[in-house]
């Protein structure tokens, strides 16, 4: 100590900067005060690495990388003793949950997890993360030392580094010497696509349960290895709003326990204490509800944690902005608020540590012994092994246990697709999920046929039951049955060797088949499809089945290349030694069509819904591995459309669409795929047959309604009468049309709006329609339910030599509506051949 003091005095005399502390604060490390400028992600990483090297009660883990190669980090902070036994604490916590077996060590520390900056353009988060980290690791901080006696704190400084840097680089590139606080200055208007989303324009705070994205797979993967008792997701909202913290708004999902509700209030009151002391404005219990399972608050809640969202006002606020009330909101203030709630949360959780751990244990005991919901077993029929595998992968990512088959084969259960209770046989490869397991709450939330939704406005979609999303026949069974096996008895198809095929057949029913087609086309292997079902070699093949014939592929080492590719992909193909089939049209028939290898282009840029566009982009690049050209919609009159065979118009606002060149391109043989609002933009355009179906004009206000004059306070409730925040509807499907290939004669669509169109004319094809009452699940306002009837949602129009595909709903929504992927692939590869 004397030595140190001496050094300080000498250093001060010599003009050397003096650090009284052993650990540098962010300001000392970065060389500027937090809030003076935005810190690029690599500097945040450097600070975390520095602290990990300097503070001995920390452990830094890189658990993944982003699409653009940035590191994903989690910093573990604990007492000096606990940091040495982190792995033991982790296993112990999983034992408390009953996920791992073994004796539980008593007095286990509580785990508080703080996640920052999932939305890249809500950047105060990562700045606050550095300050919070400093306070928790600073050896001179007595308070945090106390908290860490019974707490492990985990800080993920940035869940979305690619998005954060997109925002920070934008802001730094346009700001002046002094920040311009005027809201209309350009530094407060981000260019398309904005920094909220990740590289593929996915909203990572809608992806927790689906884990479609690389970042979420890594972060939720780590989350499930730990299962923290408390999780906070730090955000920013519109800058005119005061701070929001827990307790959340209604609706709460019914499976959220009273304890989870109550402790949110305890945490909220502790936050409020500090906000009151400072005179800072805040609100609770409004706006942010707890229903949709893929958020950073609900997902932890369904996993036994206290999951919460904290929202600072600040999107697009830059370093300073004048708010509606005439005050100037600065980044410095925004950081201070997030810093305060972060520490306040750690404090109050530490003060209640034992109770929080006990309740966490209770949640899991209950989950295993008394699972929620009326169904105690779910059976997923294995009509297609590859489709069931996709679901199995998703369940596995979420730690949900399942098996295959039942010892007693005949079972009675609720059929999701007919709504009837039926007796049926369980086959050995049917997927069986027993509800008596640690993750039974999450299981119930994801599989219950209808989510209970109180009559209330919500922030997001209200229906997601997996059997509809995956298009898999499923039964809910009230009795508890254990699966007979933990492994499917379907073995990966053995590689074919020494075959000499006239042709090879692949099914066309799942994304695995689309991947196989993509791989064939990329190798310039010619592929055909059968427009009609046929039977050969004792097998039945549905319409759309892929045929790779020797004819046309003589230049390659045909048998070896095709069988090897199938083997590499674990994909089942059937060799045919003759073109003469048992039933149906022969392989050489006119009913077997050649699939032209399409050059696909996708509109991007201003006006396009970046998330909808990103879903298409991600689908091609990351899911089926097929090349796609991204072109700016603004360049439509400049580019040579003739270079492309397929042009995809994702959802967006196509203002002043001059459709003449589009129409000409289609007439010359192009295929236009219009999705969601892009469909609306083609209404009344020359050559396009699409007509919007308006709600009936006979809405004469009846006398009763007239008498009750509407109240201003009810305005939100009135608005939801004509809204569909995301509900499931059943369509009749013409599966003889290429757009319907691989489907039964129905399809479950996730509707995000009440858009529906008039049936197309005699020369066109109405492939997906709703005749009467297609509503299945989710919230749909009274008016909207009436409107979505007797109309077209999937259609194909011929135009000259080309065709237009109308997809009124989004089949690739957040990449979790698994069954939509085949529908979309039909539009791209099958229609118009
Ligand atoms: Zn956010």
What is the tens place of the pLDDT at every residue in 341-366?
A: 999 999 999 999 999 999 999 999 99
- Model confidence at 18, pLDDT cuts 50, 70, 90, reads very low
Query: What distance in Å separates the CA atoms of residue 762 and residue 382, rounded to the nearest whole number?
Result: 38
| Confidence at residue 712, expressed as pLDDT on a 0 to 100 scale | 73
Going from the Cα of 232 to the center of ligand 1, the distance in angstroms, rounded, reads 12
Q: How far is the CA of 235 from the centre of ligand 1 (A)?
A: 4
How far apart (Å, rounded) are the C-alpha atoms in residues 642 and 241? 49
Distances (CA, A) of 276 to 175, 270, 271, 340: 34, 10, 9, 12
pLDDT band at 708 (very low <50, low <70, confident <90, very high): low
Among 233, 230, 228, CA closest to 208 = 233
Residue 659's pLDDT band (cuts 50, 70, 90): confident
CA 310–ligand 1 middle distance (angstroms): 9
The rounded Å distance from CA 71 to ligand 1 centre is 20
CA of 679 to the centre of ligand 1 (A): 29
Share of the chain above pLDDT 70, in %: 94
How many Å lie between the centroid of ligand 1 and the Cα of residue 158?
12
pLDDT digits (tens, 9 = 90+) for 299-327: 999 999 999 999 999 999 999 999 999 99
Enter the DSSP assignment of 805: E
**What angle (nearest 5°) sits at the alpha carbon of residue 457, between those of residues 454 and 458?**
90
Q: pLDDT at position 697, please?
A: 54
Count of H helices and E strands in the chain? Answer: 25, 35
Question: Ligand 1 centroid vs 202 CA: distance in angstroms?
Answer: 13
Q: What is the DSSP string of 166-234?
A: HHHHHHHHH--SS----TTSGGGSPPTT-SSS-TT---GGG-TTT--SHHHHHHHHHHHHH--SEEEEE
How far does Cα 492 stand from its chain's mean position?
29
Rounded to whole angstroms, the Cα distance separating 51 from 804 reads 57
Expressed in angstroms and rounded, the spacing between residue 223 Cα and the centre of ligand 1 is 19
Do 158 and 130 form a contact (C-beta atoms < 8 A)?
no
How far is the centre of ligand 1, averaged over its atoms, from the C-alpha of 309 (Å)?
Answer: 9
**Separation of CA 610 and ligand 1 centre (Å):** 16
Write out the residues surrounding ion ligand 1, Cβ under 5 A: 119, 122, 235
Distance, CA 617 to ligand 1 centroid (Å)?
A: 23
pLDDT at 7: 47
Instruction: Check whether 20 has a pLDDT greater than 90.
Output: no
Between the CA of 203 and the centroid of ligand 1 the distance, in Å, is 9
Query: Would the pLDDT of 47 be above 80?
Result: yes
Ligand 1 centroid–CA 138 distance in Å is 29
Render pLDDT for 61-108 as a digit per residue (tens, 0 to 9): 999 999 999 999 999 999 999 999 999 999 999 999 999 999 999 999
Q: Say which range, 279-283, 439-443, 496-500, 757-761, has the weakest mean pLDDT.
A: 496-500
Cα separation, 122 vs 144, whole angstroms: 26
346, two tokens: 């750690």
How far away, in angstroms, is 119 Cα from ligand 1 center? 5
Ligand 1 centroid from CA 113, angstroms? 17
Q: What is the pLDDT of residues 465-480, one digit of tens each?
A: 999 999 999 999 999 9
Q: How far is the CA of 102 from the centre of ligand 1 (A)?
A: 39
Q: How far is the CA of 447 from the centre of ligand 1 (A)?
A: 27
443 CA to middle of ligand 1, Å? 26
Q: How far is the CA of 164 from the centre of ligand 1 (A)?
A: 12
CA of 460 to the centre of ligand 1 (A): 13
Give the end-to-end CA distance of the chain in Å, rounded to a whole number: 83
Q: Quote the crossing angle between the two packed helices 511-522 and 558-568, to the nearest 10°.
A: 140
Q: For residue 291, how far is its CA from the centre of ligand 1 (angstroms)?
A: 16
- Residue 308 Cα, ligand 1 centroid: separation in angstroms? 12
Q: Residues 283-299: what's their mean pLDDT?
A: 93
**All residues at 6 or more sequence positions from 538 whose CB lies less than 8 Å from its CB, including other chains:** 582
- pLDDT of amino acid 259: 98
- Cα(296) to ligand 1 centroid in Å equals 10
Token pair of 598, please? 């399409």
Residue 122 CA to ligand 1 centre (angstroms)? 6
Give the distance (Å) from ligand 1 centre to CA of residue 288: 11
Residue 821 CA to ligand 1 centre (angstroms): 27
What one-character DSSP code corresponds to residue 85?
A: T
Q: How many CB atoms are located within 10 Å of the residue 403 CB?
A: 17
Whether the per-residue pLDDT at 701 is higher than 50: the answer is no
CA of 173 to the centre of ligand 1 (A): 23
Q: What is the DSSP string of 222-282?
A: HHHHH--SEEEEEEEEETTS-EE-SSPEEEEPTTS-HHHHHHHHHHHHHHHHHHHHHT--E
Instruction: Quote the ligand 1 centre to 5 CA distance (angstroms).
Output: 46
* pLDDT in the model for residue 459: 66
Measured CA to CA, the distance from residue 127 to residue 666 in angstroms comes to 50
- pLDDT tens readout for residues 553-596: 999 999 999 999 999 999 999 999 999 999 999 999 999 999 99
Tell how far the Cα of 190 is from the centroid of ligand 1, in angstroms.
Answer: 15
Residue 19's pLDDT is 45
Q: Report the separation in Å between the CA atom of 657 and the middle of ligand 1, taken as the mean of its atom positions.
A: 32
- Is residue 603 within 8 Å of 649, Cβ to Cβ? yes
Within its chain, how far is the Cα of 124 from the centroid? 24
Q: What is the DSSP letter of 15?
A: T
- CA of 396 from ligand 1 middle (Å) equals 27
How far does the centroid of ligand 1 lie from the alpha carbon of residue 340, in Å? 18
Which one, of 70, 163, 167, 160, lies nearest residue 118 by Cα?
Answer: 160
Distance 316 CA to ligand 1 centre (A): 12
Residue 475 near residue 790 (C-beta atoms within 8 A): no
In the reported structure, the alpha carbon of residue 85 is separated from the centroid of ligand 1 by a whole-number distance in angstroms of 34
Confidence of residue 773 (pLDDT cuts 50, 70, 90): confident
DSSP state letter for 300: H
Whether residue 494 is predicted with pLDDT greater than 80 in this model: the reply is no
**What is the arithmetic mean of pLDDT over 144-159?**
98
Could you tell me the pLDDT band of residue 781, with boundaries at 50, 70 and 90?
Answer: confident
Q: What is the pLDDT of residue 8?
A: 46
CA of 118 to the centre of ligand 1 (A): 7
* Res. 5: pLDDT tops 60: no
773 CB contacts (<8 Å, ≥6 apart)?
789
Note the pLDDT of residue 695.
Answer: 64
Q: Quick count: other Cβ atoms within 10 Å of Cβ 84?
A: 13
Structural tokens at position 191 = 């260019």
pLDDT at site 1: 44
Q: State the distance from the centre of ligand 1 to the C-alpha of 735, rounded, in angstroms.
A: 41
Give distance in angstroms: CA of 159 to centre of ligand 1.
11
CA of 313 to the centre of ligand 1 (A): 10
CB 176 within 8 A of CB 232: no
121 CA → ligand 1 middle, Å: 8
Distance (angstroms) between ligand 1 centre and the Cα of 129 equals: 15
pLDDT at 786 over 60: yes
The mean of the pLDDT values for the chain is 93
CA 152 to chain centre: 28
The helix/strand/coil state of 111 is: strand
| pLDDT, mean of residues 730-737 | 98
CA of 452 to the centre of ligand 1 (A): 25
Distance 116 CA to ligand 1 centre (A): 10
- Determine the distance separating the centroid of ligand 1 and the alpha carbon of 761, expressed in angstroms: 44
**The pLDDT value given to residue 362:** 98
Which residue in this structure is represented by tokens 């981000």?
Answer: 190
Query: What's the pLDDT at 833?
Result: 87
pLDDT beyond 90 at 684: yes
Q: How far is the CA of 217 from the centre of ligand 1 (A)?
A: 19
**pLDDT above 90: residue 496:** no
Among 247-251, 560-564, 707-711, which range has the highest average pLDDT?
Answer: 560-564
Per-residue pLDDT, averaged over 441-445, amounts to 98
- Model confidence at 748, pLDDT cuts 50, 70, 90, reads very high
User: What would the two tokens of residue 637 be?
Assistant: 């009159």
Q: How far is the CA of 167 from the centre of ligand 1 (A)?
A: 13
Average pLDDT over residues 694-715: 59
Give residue 236 CA to ligand 1 midpoint distance, Å. Answer: 5
For residue 252, how far is its CA from the centre of ligand 1 (angstroms)?
Answer: 19
pLDDT of residue 499: 86
Instruction: Give the Å distance between the CA of 240 and the centre of ligand 1.
Output: 15
Q: Is the backbone of residue 537 left (phi > 0), alpha (psi -120 to 50) or beta?
A: left
Task: Give the distance (Å) from ligand 1 centre to CA of residue 237.
Answer: 6
Distance of CA 695 to the CA centre of its chain: 32
Spacing, Cα 234 to ligand 1 middle (Å): 7
- CA of 613 relative to ligand 1 center, distance in Å: 20
């Amino acid at each position: 100590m004397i030595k140190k003091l001496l050094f300080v005095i000498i250093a001060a005399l010599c003009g050397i900067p003096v650090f009284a502390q052993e650990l540098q604060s962010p300001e000392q490390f970065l060389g500027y005060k937090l809030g003076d400028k935005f810190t690029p992600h690599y500097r945040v990483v450097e600070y975390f690495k520095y602290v990990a090297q300097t503070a001995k009660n920390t452990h830094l883990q890189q658990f993944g990388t982003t699409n653009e190669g940035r590191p994903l980090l989690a910093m573990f902070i604990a007492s000096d003793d606990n940091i040495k036994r982190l792995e033991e604490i982790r296993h112990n916590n999983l034992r408390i949950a009953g996920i791992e077996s073994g004796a539980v060590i008593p007095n286990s520390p509580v785990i508080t997890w703080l996640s920052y900056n999932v939305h890249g353009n809500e950047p105060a988060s990562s700045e606050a993360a550095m300050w919070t980290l400093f306070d928790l690791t600073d050896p001179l901080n007595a308070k945090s030392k106390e908290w860490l006696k019974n707490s492990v704190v985990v800080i993920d400084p940035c869940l979305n580094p690619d998005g954060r840097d997109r925002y920070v680089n934008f802001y730094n590139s346009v700001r002046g010497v002094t920040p311009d606080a005027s809201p209309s200055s350009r530094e407060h208007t981000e260019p398309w696509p904005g920094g909220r989303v990740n590289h593929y324009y996915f909203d990572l705070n809608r992806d927790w349960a689906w884990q479609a994205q690389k970042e979420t797979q890594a972060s939720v993967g780590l989350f499930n290895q730990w299962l923290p008792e408390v999780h906070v997701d730090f955000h920013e909202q519109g800058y005119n709003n005061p701070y929001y913290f827990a307790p959340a708004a209604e609706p709460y999902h019914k499976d959220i326990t009273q304890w989870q509700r109550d402790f949110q209030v305890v945490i909220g009151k502790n936050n409020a204490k500090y906000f009151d002391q400072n005179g800072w404005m805040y609100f609770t219990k409004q706006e942010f509800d707890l229903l949709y399972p893929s958020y950073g608050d609900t997902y932890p809640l369904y996993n036994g944690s206290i999951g919460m969202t904290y929202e600072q006002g600040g999107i697009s606020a830059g370093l300073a902005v004048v708010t509606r009330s005439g005050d100037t909101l600065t980044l410095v203030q925004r950081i201070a608020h997030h810093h305060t709630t972060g520490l306040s949360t750690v404090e109050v959780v530490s003060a209640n540590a034992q109770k929080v751990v006990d309740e966490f244990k209770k949640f899991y005991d209950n989950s295993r012994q008394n699972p929620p919901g009326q169904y105690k077993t779910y059976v997923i029929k294995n009509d297609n092994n590859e489709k069931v595998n996709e679901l199995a992968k998703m369940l596995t990512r979420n730690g949900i246990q399942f098996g295959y088959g039942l010892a007693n084969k005949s079972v009675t259960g609720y059929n999701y697709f007919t709504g009837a209770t039926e007796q049926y046989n369980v086959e050995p490869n049917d997927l069986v999920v027993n509800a008596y397991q640690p993750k039974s709450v999450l299981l119930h939330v994801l599989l219950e046929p209808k989510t209970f939704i109180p009559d209330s406005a919500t922030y997001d979609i209200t229906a997601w039951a997996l059997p509809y999303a995956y298009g898999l026949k499923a039964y809910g069974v009230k009795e508890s049955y254990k699966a007979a096996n933990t492994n499917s008895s379907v073995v990966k198809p053995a590689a074919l060797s020494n075959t000499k095929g006239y042709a090879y057949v692949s099914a066309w029913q799942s994304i695995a088949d689309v991947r196989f087609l993509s791989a064939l086309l990329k190798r310039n292997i010619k592929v055909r499809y059968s427009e009609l079902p046929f039977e050969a070699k004792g097998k039945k093949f549905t319409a759309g089945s892929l045929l790779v014939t020797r004819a046309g592929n003589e230049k390659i080492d045909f048998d070896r290349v095709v069988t090897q590719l199938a083997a590499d992909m674990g994909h089942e193909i059937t060799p045919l030694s003759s073109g003469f089939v048992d039933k149906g049209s022969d392989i050489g028939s006119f009913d077997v069509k050649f699939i032209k290898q399409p050059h696909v282009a996708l509109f991007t840029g201003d006006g396009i819904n970046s998330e909808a566009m990103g879903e298409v982009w991600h689908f091609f690049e990351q899911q089926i591995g097929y090349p796609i050209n991204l072109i700016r919609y603004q360049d439509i009159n400049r580019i040579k459309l003739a270079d492309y065979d397929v042009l995809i118009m994702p959802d967006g606002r196509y203002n002043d669409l001059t459709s003449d060149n589009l129409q000409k391109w289609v007439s010359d043989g192009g295929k236009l795929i219009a999705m969601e609002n892009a469909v609306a933009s083609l209404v009344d355009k020359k050559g396009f047959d699409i007509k919007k179906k308006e709600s009936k004009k006979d809405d004469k206000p009846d006398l009763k309604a007239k008498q009750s004059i509407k109240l201003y306070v009810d305005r939100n409730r009135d608005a939801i009468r004509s809204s569909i925040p995301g509900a499931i509807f059943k369509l009749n499907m013409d599966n003889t049309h290429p757009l319907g290939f691989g489907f039964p004669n129905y399809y479950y669509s996730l509707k995000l709006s009440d858009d529906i169109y008039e049936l197309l004319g005699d020369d066109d094809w109405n492939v997906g329609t709703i005749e009467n009452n297609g509503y299945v699940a989710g919230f749909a306002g009274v008016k909207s339910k009436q409107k979505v009837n007797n109309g077209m949602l999937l259609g194909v129009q011929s135009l000259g030599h080309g065709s237009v595909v109308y997809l009124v709903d989004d089949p690739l929504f957040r990449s979790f509506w698994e069954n939509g992927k085949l529908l979309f692939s039909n539009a791209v590869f099958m229609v118009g051949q």
